Amino acid sequence: MPEEPGLIALLGGGEWQAGCEPVDEALLAAAGTEQVTILPTAAAFERPERAVAHAEAYFARLGAKVRPLMVLRRADAQDPAMAEAIGASRFVYLGGGSPLHLRSVLKDSKVWSALVEAWQAGAVVAGSSAGAMVLTDPMVDPRGGALTVGLGLVRGLAVVPHYGQENAEKVHRSVTLAAADLAVVGVPERTAVLRDPSGSWQVLGAGSVQVFVGGEPADLDALPRS
């Protein structure tokens, strides 16, 4: 079993679409698997089965298979069978939708504990849009751009997804309300910031990310390494 945690990928949205292939091919290679466990939790009220079907068609083109786990409610997240499936996964992907629903379903749940343990054992964890937001602590509050509590797989970092398309006033609020030592990262769609097991960060995908610390532009070296 690996002694290091796995790679973390925070995407700005537009997951499972043309243009995301370089990101997902890299994640599949890092995970050493051809199976992706998809959590459509954030899309629980937006026909999650459609998100799953979209992911299945997309990953099939990459030679990979999707294992959907329909963790849509709190009771699902407390299901031991769901937690066992997450714990056995080498690549877990949290899709987009409502970050507040995603957080409320997963927080302090059996499924979340299993995800953290899988990551600590070397599994790749990816989140896009809402999925990326909740993986950090603090996280950007989608209701107005302030900061709130996230799930904290990554600490000392907050993600603004759909960067370049998001409301400029909300982005400004997120940047200016952040603590002086907190990195706020704007991530465009079809783009990811990746943290490898050593704590180093890189950008992969179609767009360019923007890092802010203390309200001022910064570079990837400002992102937390642990």
3-17 confidence digits (pLDDT tens) = 689 999 999 999 999
What is the model's pLDDT at position 226? 75
Q: What is the pLDDT of residue 138?
A: 97
pTM of the model: 0.96
Contact 176, 211 (CB under 8 A): no
Residue 80's nearest CA partner among 71, 90, 92, 68 is 71
Is residue 2 predicted with pLDDT exceeding 60? no
Please compute the mean of the pLDDT values over residues 207-219 and round it to a whole number: 95
pLDDT tens per residue, range 51-107: 999 999 999 999 999 999 999 999 999 999 999 999 999 999 999 999 999 999 999
Residue 140 · residue 129 · CB < 8 Å: no
**Is there a contact between 6 and 30 (Cβ–Cβ < 8 Å)?**
yes
Three-state DSSP at 52 gives helix
Domain annotation for the chain: domains and CATH numbers = 8-222 (3.40.50.880)
